[in-house]
Amino acid sequence: MVPDDPDGPADDTTNEMTFNWDGIRTGFVTCVPVALGVAGYGIAFGVLADRAGLTVAETALMSATVLAGASQIIAVELWSDPVPAAAIVLAVFAVNLRYSLMGAALRPWFRHLSATRSYLSLFFMADENWALTIRDLTSGSGRGAFLLGSGLAMWVFWVVSSVVGVAVGGVIDDPAMYGLDYILAATFIALAVELWDGASTVVPWTVALVTALVTAQVLSGHWHVIAGGGAAAIVEMVRRG
Amino acid sequence: MSSRAAARLLSWRWSAVANTFTLDPVVVTVIAAMAVVTYLTKGGGLWLLTHVEISDRVEASLEVLPGAIIVAVLGPELASGGPPEWLAGGVVAAVAWKTGNILLALVTGVGAIVIFRTVL
């Protein structure tokens, strides 16, 4: 295989990178419709958090400091008494590992920003606003603050909708009746369709699927996520070697 | 749902209402740990690329993680469901494929699951 030049894409970013109020505002405004959609997902998370026994304050704290939807839903699904802390933290880490790659993909642009600005912005990175940011930066806008602005929109809608979910969770009898329990699966299916890359994804996805199905039969909790993802990465490493 | 499960749910709900602003130290500690590991993943990738030389082989193998993790979550989840979940999954995939609009796919999927669960 021909090794990729890691600095290659940087050649497209010769334009000046800015980090200002305009970038924050543009990112925020662009992301509002998407964040509104994600808020439906936040309500579903709040309902699950309520069922797991979390208080409004605890749910708000989690959404405000973690800001990673799928992992938060998995965490509250694993929640029981006593709290399986190690399993939860490990599952959260495994589910969120993809963020490392997303963050790495921003390097061609973020290398022009200070460390403080880069790592502050990355706190607010979620799947949806990462995609919007990549789209904006690829267009050559030079808006270094786009991730921060779009992330702030995600943060506001996510925290508020989580709280609404916990509050409504006491009223809604059965989220399944409104299809709320299906939001995670629906989101992941839609994401899978977007990530599907034809032949190159067949082997790793099959390995992940089979490993996850087998692991789920043997282990409870969400260890199948770690097993499936890990197996796919290892097989891919061997395949490319 | 068994009556015991229903009673447990009720007591959970009651305690959630009673303790809206309660912060349990154990819960806060777990949330803090979740926040730390999540931030490590969000900031870690850029940090690694800036500070550590990664072989192409490792980098290439990591590229499959997002899709693989999604499939690993979905597989057992859909396997534990039934025809309504599978059919609605097909609807979501079709809409996402056709329109590329995740929001639309989500709304259609949730509508579809409600209908399929009622009809089937």
In this structure, what token pair is assigned to residue A14?
Answer: 């010769």
B-chain CB neighbours of A70 within 8 Å are 73
Q: Give the count of domains, chain B.
A: 2
B81 contacts on A by Cβ (under 8 Å): 185
Do A183 and A202 lie in one domain? The reply is no
The answer, for A65 touching chain B at a CB cutoff of 8 Å, is: yes
**In chain A, where does DSSP find H-type helix?**
21-51, 56-65, 69-78, 85-96, 98-105, 107-110, 115-123, 127-138, 146-169, 183-195, 199-218, 223-240
Q: Mark yes or no for CB contact A71/B19 under 8 Å.
A: no
A211 touches chain B (CB under 8 A): yes
Parts of chain A with a pLDDT under 70: 1-15, 169-176, 180, 184, 220-222
Q: What is the pLDDT of residues A25-72, one digit of tens each?
A: 999 998 887 787 778 778 888 988 988 999 999 999 999 999 998 899
**Interface residue A199 vs chain B (CB under 8 A):** no
User: Does residue A159 fall inside a structural domain?
Assistant: yes
Opening angle at CA A114, ends A108 and A116, nearest 5: 120
Domain range spanning residue A98? 18-195
Which chain B residues are within 8 Å of A132, Cβ to Cβ? none
How confident is the model over B4-17, as a mean pLDDT? 62
Report the C-alpha gap between B61 and A233 in whole angstroms: 5
For residue A186, the chain B residues in CB contact (below 8 A) are 88-89, 92, 105-106, 109-110, 113
Chain B CB within 8 Å of residue A71 CB: yes
Q: What tokens were used for B35? A: 């926040």
Residue in B68, B75, B109 closest to A182 by CB: B109
What is the predicted pLDDT for the residue at B41?
Answer: 93
Q: Specify whether the CB–CB gap between A157 and A56 falls below 8 A.
A: no
Query: Which chain B residue has its CA at the smallest distance from A109's CA?
Result: B46
Residue A6 lies in a domain: no
Are A148 and A227 part of one and the same domain?
Answer: no
Tell me the chain A residues in contact with residue B21 when contact means C-beta distances shorter than 8 Å: 55-57
Q: CB distance B31–A68 less than 8 Å?
A: no
- CB of A84 within 8 Å of a chain B CB? The answer is no
DSSP A156-168: HHHHHHHHHHHHH
A6-34 pLDDT tens trace: 444 444 444 689 999 999 999 999 888 77
A128 touching B (Cβ < 8 Å): yes
Shortest Cα distance, chain B CAs vs residue A53, angstroms: 5
Instruction: Judge whether A27 lies within some domain.
Output: yes
Q: Mutation test of the interface with chain B: which of A182, A194, A219, A236, choosing the one with the most B Cβ atoms within 10 A?
A: A182
The reply to whether A57 and A101 lie within a common domain is: yes
Identify whether residues A34 and A60 lie together within a single domain: yes
pTM value is 0.66
Residue found under tokens 């992941």: A188
Residue B33's pLDDT is 98
pLDDT of B62 above 70: no
Query: In this structure, is residue A1 part of a structural domain?
Result: no
Q: Which amino acid is at A19?
A: F
Size of interface A-B (CB pairs under 8 A): 303
What distance lies between CA A147 and its chain's CA centroid? 14
Measure the CA angle with vertex A202, ends A197 and A203; round to 5°.
Answer: 130
In a domain, residue A156? The reply is: yes
Nearest to B9 by CA among A232, A170, A105, A86: A170
Domain total of chain A: 2
**Backbone φ, ψ for residue B58 (5° rounding):** -65, -45
